[in-house]
Chain A
């Protein structure tokens, strides 16, 4: 019973997502022309001003290390925590040497 309801909920969520992903009602894929200026103006700014403002010709590195560096700090923290947790959990247990 519970499992049936769970599967029905998953089916409902999938239907909603498919509806949203339809270009006639929701998201647009591969916008160009005026849509590019209206929907992707942030990307347009990065591509236009990235090289002169940050100096790197790799715009992705310009964004993740300069414009949105806090995100990279968080990412590095997540990696650090994951490594620390993995190393801490896989250490030998007490009295496990023999």
Chain B
């Protein structure tokens, strides 16, 4: 892309990233959450790829790291669900008698495992969408 697009992308990509992180981190207080925020951050990845091209994306994209982070997001989600396994699967033990994340409803450090799950799902969605996007962008066989 041209110079104007590249410069604008340089300014806008951090803003999209910060806004997506805000959506993920405040998933238990305001509309949004892991899936929506992860898709928003993946939009920053799309903008990077479109504005700077595939060769630049290849330098900053590590296939193994993104695959590992996607698996790690899923495992963190399951681990947060397992925290209250003494009572039941998906028992919100951090909220009922946990040491952290048990503030007043409406504050950031409240709602038990919901922020952990939001972060895990946001990480998973972001890395997954970027992986699929790069895989499709590298699929360069127009003929045959």
Contacts and interface: CB of A to CB of B under 8 A. Distances in A.
Interface in B105-144: 105-106, 110-114, 117-118, 121, 124-125, 128-129, 131-132, 135-136, 138-139, 141
Interface stretch (B2-10, B50-58, B70-78): B70-78
Contacts of A55: 28, 92, 95, 102, 105, 110-112, 114
B70 A80 contact: yes
A57 B112 contact: no
Given A79-B124, A80-B124, A61 B138 contact: no
Interface stretch (A25-33, A39-47, A62-70): A62-70
Contact count band on A: 20 to 34
Given A56-B111, A60-B31, A61-B27, A90 B90 contact: no
Interface in B52-96: 70, 74, 77-78, 81, 90, 92, 95
Given A60-B31, A61-B27, A83-B70, A54 B81 contact: no
Nearest to B112: A55
Interface residues of B, number: 37
Nearest to A77: B74
Interface in A64-94: 64-66, 69-70, 72-73, 75-77, 79-80, 82-83, 86-87, 90-91
B91 to A, nearest CB: 9
A69 B120 CA distance: 14
A52 B95 CA distance: 10
A57 to B, nearest CB: 5
B33 interface: yes
Contact of B90 (A62, A69, A91): A69
B29 interface: yes
Nearest to B38: A79
Interface of A: 51-52, 54-58, 60-62, 64-66, 69-70, 72-73, 75-77, 79-80, 82-83, 86-87, 90-91, 96
Interface of B: 27-31, 33, 35, 70, 74, 77-78, 81, 90, 92, 95, 102, 105-106, 110-114, 117-118, 121, 124-125, 128-129, 131-132, 135-136, 138-139, 141
